Amino acid sequence: MINDLVLGTMYFGTRTDRATSFALLDRFVEAGGTTLDTANCYAFWVSGTGHGGQSETLIGEWLRANPGLRERLTLATKVGVEPLDGGGVEGLGPETVRREAGRSLERLGVDRIDLYWAHGEDRRTPIEETTEALGELVGTGTVGRVGISNHPTWLVERSRNHARARGLEPASALQLTTSYVEPRPGTAVEGKDHRFGWVTDETIDYLERNDGIELWAYSPLVQGSFDRDDRPFPAAYDHPGTTARLAALTEVAAELGVARSQVVLAWLLHRSPQVRPIVGVSSLEQLEPALAAAELDLDAATVARLDQPA
Q: Could you state, in order of their start, the residue ranges of all structural domains in the chain?
A: 2-307
Q: How far apart are CA 279 and CA 9, in angstroms?
A: 9
Helix (H) or strand (E) holding 114: strand 113-118
Segment 188-221, tens digit of pLDDT: 887 777 889 999 999 999 999 999 999 999 999 9
Which residue numbers in the chain have pLDDT < 50?
A: none
Q: How far apart are CA 266 and CA 252, in angstroms?
A: 11
Q: What is the pLDDT of residue 195?
A: 85
CA separation (Å) from 169 to 98, 119, 289? 16, 17, 36
Q: What is the pLDDT of residue 275?
A: 98
CATH for 2-307?
A: 3.20.20.100
Q: Is the backbone peptide bond immediately before 273 cis, with ω within 30 degrees of 0?
A: yes
Whole-structure pTM value: 0.96
SS3 176: strand
